[in-house]
Structure 1
Amino acid sequence: MSDNLARHFLLREDVTFLNHGSFGACPRPVFETYQAFQLELEREPVEFLGRRLTENMAVPRRALAAELGTSADNIVGLTNATTGLNIVAQSLDLKPGDQILTTDHEYSALEKTWAYVCRKTGAEVVVVTIPLPLVEEAQFTDAIIAGMTDKTRVLFLSHITSPTALVFPIERAVAEARRRGIWSVIDGAHTPGHIRLDLDALGADFYSGNCHKWMMAPKGSAFLHARPEVQGLLDPLVISHGWTADSKLPGAKGAFGNSPFIDEIEMQGTRDPSPWLTVPAAIKFRQENDWWAIADHCRALAQDTARRLGERTGLAPLSAPQFCAPQMVAMPIPDCDAPAIHTTLFERYGIEIPVFKWQDRCIARLSVQGYNSKPQMDRLIDALSELLNLKAPEAA
């Protein structure tokens, strides 16, 4: 599988790249489309940015909406999920005593975002500990619902967690938040292209995801989704030509004829929109290569690698397989100098993989994409075994 697919990617041949989850990797055909947009922009910047941008920006919205189960009117294009989540966090009307309910598995940049918001508003973050190993949906949902109080204004959850590579079963928690009048804000940075999404069915108030990771679009392509009923709550981080003074009035239009949600947030001054415009090409590449079937192969390889390493470490996985991200798994390793192991894996073995300490666990977070192979997994296990003094299990 991987030999044929690897030719589509631009990754260095001297590096075993097992870290697709951090920034993704863009296939060659998609990258060429990206460069074509950039060249078109440079050949006539005023035509591209001044006369055609509004029309061009709508094309990815329509393609992505069809892929994610929503309307194009509910999506805006951004550079990354962190930006989308900052727009939400800094727009919501919070005050002293209000609580943001979240978990102990969140991405550090967003932990800082909510800390900043709390410093400005007087609200506070309440962190729920999710029991591990995660083996059933009720473990997660019961812990979240138990943390809800009459002071909870925001429920902030990762759909797929960054440090622990878990798929949180967020559906019942989101529904309960809606029932209680709590805003639900979902960090979907790792989700588009990784698991199938139906945003309207999920019903979260706000959902931001990256297209540059598992959807394999260029870096700088992401989206913010908001239900129509809550779009009026949002303010842009940057005030530019899309803003209008009457944007909060019922039925108001943005400066370019779309809703204020789209025009105010998408227009943030001059920027290169080429990554966002390339999203339809990324979706087409995935469809033409039956990428969901490839993802199934990747999941099997990831789970097999985690199982094999677990036999050497004797450490239990963080979850049952159904709660592990399909193409990404956080593999516990023995206590060690994680930054040193990370550096040595790259410098001595040419293996690019995150190794870090999360809470009291050392973790090697493996990503498996279509360009990866079993020999690469063997190389990783052999390298970790050598560095951590792990022994192969004895044959039965």
Structure 2
Amino acid sequence: MKSTAVVQFPLVADIIQFNHASYGLSSLRAIEEGERLRREIESDPTVHLGAELTARLEVQTADVARALGIDQDRITLCTNATSAAAAIIASVPLSSNSVVVILDVEYSSIRRAWEIACAKAGASLISVSVPMPFESTTELMAELDAQIPGPVDYLQVSAITSSTAIELPMSELGNWAAQRGAQLIVDAAHGPGHIPLKPRQWGASAVFGTLHKWFPTLRPVGFLWLASEFDTLIRPAEVSLTWDSSSVVERFSWPGTFDPVPRLTVQTAIEQWADWESDGLIDGCKKLADLADHVMVDSGARWTSAPEFRPPRLRAFILDGANPLQVKDLLQAAEIRAWVGQGAQGECLLRLATHIYNDENDVDRVTHRIKEVLSR
């Protein structure tokens, strides 16, 4: 796989890259398109950054909606997942009577944003622990019922958790939110280009995330999907010239002067991803992730979830007794790029994201290093 695929990226030779799930990785094809677009814009920015830009972004947004299989009139592009989340959290009404529920495996900046908003309003923020390894939807639902006996205003969850790489049971969480009268808000940073997005099936009021993690587009590119009840309520966190627009695309299209090139390369990136899928390369990534599952556990690591909750190309492992900083340093010295950090319960976590430039030798190299860590 690597011999033909690696040349599509500007990766340094000999680096083992398992961390595109953190920042994404632009392909050479997207980079070249971005350079062409940037030269075009700079040739006449008065025209290309004016009214023409909104029309071009509407085309890109429609392409994204078709690629993701979601309704075009409900989605907009934005800067990144953080900016989309900030818009939601700053816009929803909170009071001293409000109850917000969040899982302890949620992304740290999203948790912090809710903490700040709830503190300002005097609202209650309840964090519910997700058992690790995660093996049972029933157990999670029981924990939610036990900790939250009454009504809820907002439930914040991830379609795929970031550090623990768990594909959460979204339909069940959506049903629980509906039973409690809650608006479901979904962090889908690891969704596009990875798993299907089903906001209506989930019963979501808002879904936000990024495109640059799993598509090879330039960074940053975020997206925001809003159900009808949130359509006019959610406004960008920054007040710009289009803040009052009735069009959700236009509302988020001009956050002040910015670089629109990453958003304008989305179509190119999606087309390239589709080529990879038709060539069987995406399926190859899934098989490689399954291989990593087995050899990592044979090396002494533990899974973070049962098989049915493992995302196709993102896997995380618990390294019992290991120090995250030491593991990170060891992998870095071996030219292996992977996410290593501390979980909600203090455990050491290693996360691997497989891409078309990875192969079995890459898995062997990271496994060898982890075996070395766990044998100490």
User: Could you tell me the TM-score, scaled by structure 2's length?
Assistant: 0.94
For the 8 Å contact 1:341–1:355, the answer to whether it is kept is yes
Distance in 2 (CA, whole Å) between partners of 1:90 and 1:149 is 26
Report the AA paired with residue 374 of structure 2: L
Report the AA paired with residue 339 of structure 2: P
Match of 1:275 in 2: 262
Report the AA paired with residue 119 of structure 1: A
SS at match of 1:102: strand
Deviations 1:312-338 (A, max 9, x none): 21x542211221121111112131221
SS at match of 2:303: coil
Match of 1:383 in 2: 369
How much has 1:148 moved relative to structure 2? Answer: 4.3
Match of 1:288 in 2: 275
Counterparts of 1:249-264 in structure 2, within 5 Å, are: 254=245, 259-264=246-251
For the 8 Å contact 2:14–2:335, the answer to whether it is kept is yes
SS at match of 2:110: helix
Counterparts of 1:89-108 in structure 2, within 5 Å, are: 89-108=89-108
How much has 1:172 moved relative to structure 2? Answer: 2.2
Report the AA paired with residue 236 of structure 2: P
Match of 1:357 in 2: 342
Distance in 2 (CA, whole Å) between partners of 1:292 and 1:266 is 34
How much has 1:96 moved relative to structure 2? Answer: 0.9
Match of 2:305 in 1: 319
Counterparts of 1:1-396 in structure 2, within 5 Å, are: 1-244=1-244, 254=245, 259-290=246-277, 293-313=280-300, 315-347=301-333, 349-358=334-343, 359-389=345-375
Distance in 1 (CA, whole Å) between partners of 2:21 and 2:369 is 21
Distance in 2 (CA, whole Å) between partners of 1:267 and 1:142 is 44
Question: Structure 1's 342 and 291: CA in aligned 2 closer, same or farther, altered over 3 A?
Answer: farther
Match of 1:393 in 2: none
User: Could you tell me the TM-score, scaled by structure 1's length?
Assistant: 0.89
Q: Give 5+ residue unaligned stretches, structure 2.
A: none
For the 8 Å contact 1:77–1:266, the answer to whether it is kept is yes
For the 8 Å contact 1:144–1:173, the answer to whether it is kept is no
Q: Percent identity?
A: 29
Deviations 1:210-254 (A, max 9, x none): 00001221111110100123212212212222134xxxxxxxxx2
The two structures, once aligned, show a CA RMSD in angstroms of 1.9
Distance in 2 (CA, whole Å) between partners of 1:103 and 1:303 is 26
Report the AA paired with residue 270 of structure 1: T
Report the AA paired with residue 360 of structure 1: G
Question: Structure 1's 192 and 140: CA in aligned 2 closer, same or farther, altered over 3 A?
Answer: farther
How much has 1:45 moved relative to structure 2? Answer: 0.6
Q: Give 5+ residue unaligned stretches, structure 1.
A: 245-253, 391-396
Residues paired across the two proteins, number: 375
How much has 1:23 moved relative to structure 2? Answer: 0.7
Report the AA paired with residue 354 of structure 1: W
For the 8 Å contact 1:295–1:326, the answer to whether it is kept is no
SS at match of 1:298: helix
